[in-house]
Amino acid sequence: MSQRTLVILKPDAVRRGLVGEIIGRIERKAGWSVTAMELRTLDRATLEQHYAEHEGRPFYEPLMEFMASGPSVVMLVEGERVIEGIRALAGPTDPIGAPPGSVRGDFGTIVRENLIHASDSEESAERERKIFFPSFA
């Protein structure tokens, strides 16, 4: 089943010059395509919507500061089982436990600055698309 998901290449991916490498991995996957993409520095209001479920947790404010610290690449990716596939391509949040071949396994250094966000379900993908790309929702 074809799906559409949100992917964010976080400020550390942009700062470290990994955007092309990560997008290349996505584009090389047969049947997946990037259908919208923007480079933008995320504002507090957008980040509050996106991370609302984490408000009040100890990592919330450091995460908000990190995500607003520089430009990110936000994009929509479409394709067969793309939600599950991008999550696998990203790897687990902790880069130490992420397998080689995943973005976090190959390039990640710390949990909070983990290079990439990918929607974790169809419901999350729909909610997140409406925040970042309302005309595609």
pLDDT band at 112 (very low <50, low <70, confident <90, very high): confident
Class of domain 2-39+73-136: alpha beta
pTM flag (> 0.85): yes
pLDDT in tens, 75-87: 999 999 999 999 9
Sheet holding 72-80, edge to edge: 33-40, 72-80, 2-9, 116-118
pLDDT in tens, 4-57: 999 999 999 999 999 999 999 999 998 899 999 999 999 999 999 999 999 999
pLDDT for the residue 12: 98
Active-site amino acid positions: 117
Summary mean pLDDT of the chain = 95
